[in-house]
Structure 1
Amino acid sequence: MAASYHARSNSLPSRQHPIASQIDDDLNRLRASQSASTSSSIGHNLNGLQNLHDCVDVLLQFPLTQQALAQEKQREMVEELLDGSLMLLDVCTTAKDALLQTKECTQELQSILRRRRGAERLANEFRNYLTSRKAMKKAIWKALANLKHIQNKLSTPGENGAVISILRDVEAVTISVLESVLSFISASEAESKSSRWSLVSKLMHQKKVMCEEEQKANEILSAEAAVRSCIKSENMKHVENVQKELQSSELSIQDLEEGLETLSRRMIKTRVTVLNIISC
């Protein structure tokens, strides 16, 4: 859809221009869905973010857009945005690596379960899976801290032109979507809620139900919970349930991997375009 707006123009697009309107619409939709917590809703936001970056790349083709970015007084802000985009690409890489690691552990565990090893061997493999997940979460938490650092820089007030303001808005909403992806992969929010629930379990049944619903909505967390339950109960009859949850987890991981890979390519393209503009 964005390709239809590639016509050159001698002026900066007004708010009524199709590409400017499209950017506004995409930004508003993504802002409205910042609380996304399921793999399908997060995947939808990743697709929306890809479209947004496509539209921004079209915006960057306008001569006056390029002139605005090339101005010396805007240089510091542009370089700050480029630094932020580089950090966001690093976060994307961390998320992709975490998904790949989780997928590989998931596939390996599924393979072992299909061979139906002894109960003791299965328990050890379950623990290996959880150990791998724990190590991966440390990298996720570091990436989340980096996102907060970029976000704090964006919140610093300053005199920005129209183009810089748009790029800052795009970077801010990109941070929000990536944050939801990382939280989903690590299941950090759901786990913290489960922890709080354990302290007041006899008094707050309603909160327990809510946590269980959140767990069901996160396939990765559901698989992890099924593995923990199997270890705790020492009942290998639950293996079929673990297999089912692992399969669902693998499917959601695949979708998120594809979404992040496409988003990374869009972000690199936008970054290269801006670098070319300011280097001319």
Structure 2
Amino acid sequence: MVSHHIRSSSYPSNSYPIVDQLEEQLCRLRSCQAASTSSVTSKLTGLEDLYKCADQFLQLPLNQKTVCQTQNKNWVEEVLNGSLRLLDICATSRDALVQSKERLQDIQSVVRRRCSDEIDTSNEVVEYLKTRKTSKKIIKKCLKDIKEVDRTNETNATESMLTEVQALTVDVFKSLLSYISGSQKGSWSFSKLVIQRSEKETEASISEFEVVDATLELMISQKKKVNVDKSQIVKLESEVQEIDEVLTCLYRHLVRTRATLLNVLSN
């Protein structure tokens, strides 16, 4: 996705420091998104900070006037439809996380009741994998339906800035969905994951979902007990909780920004 800046002479830095802050947040998040070592949580936190600035950006009288009086109806329709799509993606991601977390807690409960770290092909494991399979199908469809933001219809700096915010949001959400589905690097076997971990590849490059999924799928396919590193499940559950908390806050910011935009357009 090509990103660009348009600084209008209508945005004097001394009068509107929020413009500089928004551009700084955009630049920072683009760098975070491009870095292979950046975690999903750090990207989502950066996105939350970006929307805090975007909402303040929309509060500027100059921008409210520009948006309210715009003749670019295609842009208005696209940005409003885009905001709804982003809310849907955020809700889909949260649903997948919550369901996975519940199934992980069930598995941990089974492990704690045993003296060893071995778990058999219990109903809890089967249910977890079923949940993951369903989530992957939903996420795959969601990724397929995600549309790139049209950047060709902008007529002023305000439209360009808001379009760029949405475009970067789509990019981050695509990374999030790929991480949750465990499809960042395609289909991984358990042995490949072990090799990658032994080579000390950066943690951000391999989804914790992939690690746990591969371990449990191996157990089911071979129909035998497998030594499960309980720390893997604990780490994944902790990560799921962390991502969900950030997503909850981000969802509120997405709603607030959409409401602000609708209020501006209704005036």
TM-score, reference length from structure 1: 0.80
Pick from 215, 219, 222 the counterpart of residue 226 of structure 1: 215
SS of the residue 1:259 aligns to:
helix
Matched, 1:123 2:121: yes
Note if contact 1:53-1:267 (Cα within 8 Å) is conserved in structure 2.
Answer: yes
Residues 135-169 of structure 1 deviation map (CA, whole Å, 9 limit, x = unaligned): 1101111111222x2x1xx2352242111100100
Of 125-134 and 250-259, deviating more is 125-134
Give the equivalent residue in structure 2 for 1:279.
Answer: 266
Higher share of residues assigned helix? 1
- Distance (Å, rounded) in 1 between the aligned partners of 2:257 and 2:198: 39
Gaps of 5+ in 2: 1-8
Distance 1:171 1:23, change over 3 A: same
- Percent identity, aligned pairs only, is 38
Confirm or deny that 1:105 pairs with 2:100: no
Asked whether the 8 Å contact 1:12–1:62 carries over to 2, the reply is no
**Equivalenced residues, count:** 254
Tell me how far apart the structure 1 counterparts of residues 39 and 223 of structure 2 sit (CA, whole Å).
Answer: 35
Q: Does 1:256 align with 2:243?
A: yes
**Residue of structure 1 equivalent to 2:3:** none
Unaligned 5+ runs, structure 1:
1-10, 202-207
Cα distance change on mapping 1:225 and 1:115 into 2, 3 Å: same
Q: Report 1:9-158 matches (<5 A).
A: 12-14=10-12, 17-35=16-34, 41-116=39-114, 122-125=120-123, 126-147=125-146, 149=147, 151=148, 154-158=149-153
Deviation at 1:19, TM superposition (A): 1.1
Normalised by the size of structure 2, how large is the TM-score? 0.84
User: SS at 1:34's partner residue?
Assistant: helix
Corresponding residue number in structure 2 for 1:164:
159
Q: Give the Cα–Cα distance (whole angstroms) in 1 for the partners of residues 208 and 53 of structure 2.
A: 32
Q: Deviations over 1:209-237 (max 9, x none)?
A: 48974788422222112212333555535
Q: Deviations over 1:52-104 (max 9, x none)?
A: 11111111111111110011403331221011010110000000000001101
Alpha-carbon distance in 1 for matches of 2:154, 2:212: 48
One-letter amino acid of the counterpart of residue 278, structure 1 = L
How far off is 1:265 after superposition?
Answer: 0.4
Structure 1 residues 37 and 130, CA gap change in structure 2 (3 angstroms):
farther
**Structure 2 CA distance, aligned partners of 1:137 and 1:214?**
24
CA separation in 1, counterparts of 2:104 and 2:25? Answer: 34
Q: Is the 8 A contact 1:190 1:211 kept in 2?
A: no
Shift of 1:45: 1.4
Kept in 2: contact 1:68–1:74 (CA 8 A): no
For the 8 Å contact 1:68–1:163, the answer to whether it is kept is: yes
